A and B are shown apart, each in its own frame.
Chain A
Amino acid sequence: AAGVIQSPRHLIKEKRETATLKCYPIPRHDTVYWYQQGPGQDPQFLISFYEKMQSDKGSIPDRFSAQQFSDYHSELNMSSLELGDSALYFCASSSPGQGDEKLFFGSGTQLSVL
């Protein structure tokens, strides 16, 4: 079965650089979520999109932005990177309201800021 695809798997950036993370949801899933997980921590919700519109916003820094495109894939854009942005970034997708309220996660993008 198709899963959530994230790219790249690993990303190394310098401070103050920018990064773009991509997420391709499971086909027919209309909702995408972004989470940030620091070492030894539980995932922190950043932002979500439903039908290409932002549906909720969590602890996402102003330096970050995201969008969902017409094909439902999503991109998380991160600018002016800081050392503290080093984390595992998960994308998840779901199709809520269809009686299947489950989030399926991608393998994550490990971002290292040097």
Chain B
Amino acid sequence: AQTVTQSQPEMSVQEAETVTLSCTYDTSESNYYLFWYKQPPSRQMILVIRQEAYKQQNATENRFSVNFQKAAKSFSLKISDSQLGDTAMYFCAFMISDSNYQLIWGAGTKLIIKP
């Protein structure tokens, strides 16, 4: 069975700082996708970034980047120059390729950006 673990229930940093959210996963599959979703207080679920397991290059989206370590089954999210609008729950999620395309979720990390 696949599992996703986010070991940091809550984090807080000052505005403009860099913060890294950790995520580890367990699977015996070789083809899969990893995602970070953001859920602000509005509770909208917003896709932040996506990584294909077969790609060695780490995905980046503006201020958001990941450190994907396939052998270690680690998928951390780095937010640079953090902004007040980054305050949200961040969920790490996993999807097996060529399967039912379900997302398997971590428990989430609550990130608070302080002014």
Say whether A associates with B: yes
Interface of A with B (CB < 8 Å)? 31, 33, 37, 41-43, 45, 48, 55-56, 58, 88, 90, 92, 94, 96, 101-105, 107-108, 110
Q: Report the minimal beta-carbon distance from B108 to chain A, rounded to whole angstroms.
A: 6
User: Which residues on the A side are within 8 Å of B108 (C-beta)?
Assistant: 42
Q: Is the CB of B47 within 8 A of A103?
A: yes
Considering the chains assembled together, what is the distance between the CA atoms of A56 and B96 in angstroms?
A: 14
Q: Is the CB of B95 within 8 A of A104?
A: no
- Decide yes or no whether B43 CB sits under 8 A from chain A: yes
A-B contact pairs, 9 of them (CB 8 A): A33-B102, A37-B43, A41-B107, A42-B91, A48-B101, A92-B45, A94-B101, A102-B50, A105-B45
Of A43, A56, A90, A107, the residue contacting B100 (CB under 8 A) is A56
Number of interface residues of B (CB under 8 A): 21
14 additional contacts (CB under 8 A) given A31-B101, A92-B45, A108-B43: A42-B91, A42-B106, A43-B91, A43-B105, A56-B102, A58-B102, A90-B45, A94-B101, A102-B33, A102-B47, A103-B47, A104-B47, A107-B42, A108-B44
User: Which residues on the A side are within 8 Å of B103 (C-beta)?
Assistant: 33, 43, 45, 103
Q: Is the CB of B101 within 8 A of A96?
A: yes
Interface of B with A (CB < 8 Å)? 33, 35, 37, 42-47, 50, 91, 95, 97, 100-103, 105-108
User: Which residues on the B side are within 8 Å of A33 (C-beta)?
Assistant: 101-103
| CB nearest to B46 among chain A residues | A105
| CB nearest to B92 among chain A residues | A42
Q: Report the minimal beta-carbon distance from A3 to chain B, rounded to whole angstroms.
A: 10
User: Which residues on the B side are within 8 Å of A103 (C-beta)?
Assistant: 35, 47, 95, 101, 103
User: Which residues on the B side are within 8 Å of A94 (C-beta)?
Assistant: 101
Q: Is the CB of A105 within 8 A of B100?
A: no
A37, A101, A110: most-surrounded residue (chain B CB, <10 A):
A101
A42, A55, A58, A101: most-surrounded residue (chain B CB, <10 A):
A42
